[in-house]
Amino acid sequence: MFDVMILSPKAGGVGLTITEANHVIHLSRWWNPAVEDQATDRVFRIGQRRDVHVHLPMAVHPDPAIRESSFDLRLNALIDRKRKLTRDLFLPPDASDGELANLFREVSFGEPAADQVLGQPNEPQSIVELPERAVGVAIEPEQPADNEPLQRSTLTLPKALSNTGIRQWRVGAGGERPTKDILALFAGRDLVEVSIRDPYALARRSSREAQVRFIEDLKAVARTLESVTIEYAEEVDGDASDPQNRREIGDLLSRRLSPMPKLTLARRRKRSRDDDFHDRFVDIAVRHSGGTVRIHELALGRGVEALYDDRKQCTVTYAPPGST
């Protein structure tokens, strides 16, 4: 019998059963909450007779002013949001197959509800409000007249779902960019940090120009902008060498922004054994009343570049703090 067994989180998918253990310590987090849950479930098996304790060690900054910006706390919040989104979006209770299909189309593709008025012109830009939870509601029938047969009550999925503040823009090539609407979300705000994560952020001149324009536009509408971090993949094929790309974007920012915010250019491998750097995000840390710093998230299907290039399809999802 082992006192401690060290396993990869991927061991959860091989049918391993460890009923003698009742403490699970995740030394490092996994981006997919399902993998973590599978690993934890190794001790939640038939034959387990003791309470199971799950431990998630996290490194947290001691300064209360920036505690909420600690990487481990932000990662834990992201994993919790992914887990909650999967549960609430794809497993709503008491819904028929047809209602689930309609809900999925409305949420994922921005299609109108089946009971909306037909014949309305398609807008080039659509904003989709994502639901927090779908709940089945029993509709009480009106009291029938004496000569009318009693009608059965019906179960329906409500269309007026609670608003979480999540917004989505989907614009095809040639459509008007949602850049103004996105910038308006941060007008007059104090921005502590703008963190751009895009493997192709510095690959081409147009990409570098787009990052600079976005930072410039944010600084123009915000009250303050303290720092900018751009995380990119060095090995992506581009139009110049990595030192040239870094020097060019630094020169562009210094010429256009005065005073220039603190700039950090962070290299990250596009693919490694434990990482796949592919999706593109912008995290904007905003200082709210009382000095609390909260993270506003933007997921960009084609990166910041699509906000300024109308030849590209543009899909942007905005998630305010605590929205999912």
Q: Is residue 257 part of a domain?
A: yes
Higher pLDDT, 190 or 145: 190
- Judge if 208 and 297 occupy the same domain: yes
> Do 27 and 15 reside in the same domain of the chain?
yes
CA distance linking residue 297 with residue 70, whole number of Å: 15
Query: How far is the C-alpha of 240 from the C-alpha of 263, rounded, in Å?
Result: 20
Residue 12: pLDDT band with limits 50, 70, 90: low
Buried-state track 13-52, b at ≥16 Cβ within 10 A, e below 16: eeeeebeebeebeeeebbeebebbebbeebbeeeeeeeeb
Q: Which of 156-165, 289-298, 301-310 has the lowest mean pLDDT?
A: 156-165
> What is the secondary structure of 25-86 as a DSSP string?
E-SS--SSHHHHHHHHTTTSSTT--S--EEE------S-TTTGGG-HHHHHHHHHHHHHHHH
Domain identity same for 172 and 102: no
**For 163-201, what is each residue's pLDDT tens digit?**
568 899 999 999 999 999 999 999 999 999 999 999 999
Q: Are residue 315 and residue 172 in the same domain, yes or no? A: yes
Q: What percent of the chain has pLDDT over 70?
A: 73
Burial class of residue 63 (count of CB atoms within 10 Å of its CB; 0-12, 13-18, 19+): exposed
Give the DSSP H/E element, type plus range, for residue 169: strand 163-171
Over range 220-240, report the average pLDDT. 90
CATH of the domain at 308: 3.30.870.30
Domain shared by 308 and 275, yes or no: yes
If asked whether residues 196 and 271 sit together in one domain, one would say yes
Q: Are residues 171 and 308 in the same domain?
A: yes
Supply the pLDDT for residue 118: 46
Q: Is the pLDDT of residue 117 over 50?
A: no
Domain boundary pick from 74, 90, 111: 111
Q: Flag whether 143 is in a domain.
A: no
Lowest-confidence pick of 53-62, 77-86, 120-129, 273-282 = 120-129
Cα–Cα distance, 239 to 205 (Å, whole number): 7
pLDDT for res 252: 93
Q: Which of 57, 78, 102 is the last residue of a domain?
A: 57
Question: Is residue 135 in some structural domain?
Answer: no
Residues 181 and 314 in one domain: yes
- The answer to whether residue 69 is domain-embedded is yes
- Residue 184: per-residue pLDDT: 94
| Same domain? 171 vs 307 | yes
89 pLDDT exceeds 80?
no
pLDDT at 95 over 80: no
Residue 149 lies in a domain: no
At 100-110, the pLDDT tens digits run 566 666 656 65
107 and 42, same domain (yes or no): no
Give the highest mean pLDDT range of 25-39, 168-182, 233-247: 168-182
CA distance 220 to 299: 22
* CA gap 298, 296 in Å, rounded: 7
Whole-number Cα distances in Å, 181 to 89, 125, 143, 267: 26, 11, 48, 30
Burial of 138 (0-12, 13-18, 19+ CB in 10 A): exposed
Percent of the chain predicted with pLDDT > 90: 35
Domain count, the chain: 3
Same domain, 244 and 310: yes
Q: Is residue 99 part of a domain?
A: yes
Per-residue pLDDT at 304: 94
Does 89 reside within a domain?
A: yes
Q: Who wins on pLDDT, 230 or 162?
A: 230
- Terminus-to-terminus CA distance in the chain, angstroms? 42
Residue 127 maps to a domain: no
Omega cis (within 30) before 141: no
From 57, 78, 95, the end of a domain falls on: 57
- 96, 19: one domain: no
Q: Smallest Cα–Cα separation from 215: which of 246, 180, 256? A: 256
Domain that holds residue 227: 166-319
Q: Kindly report the average pLDDT of the chain as a whole number.
A: 79
91, amino acid identity: L
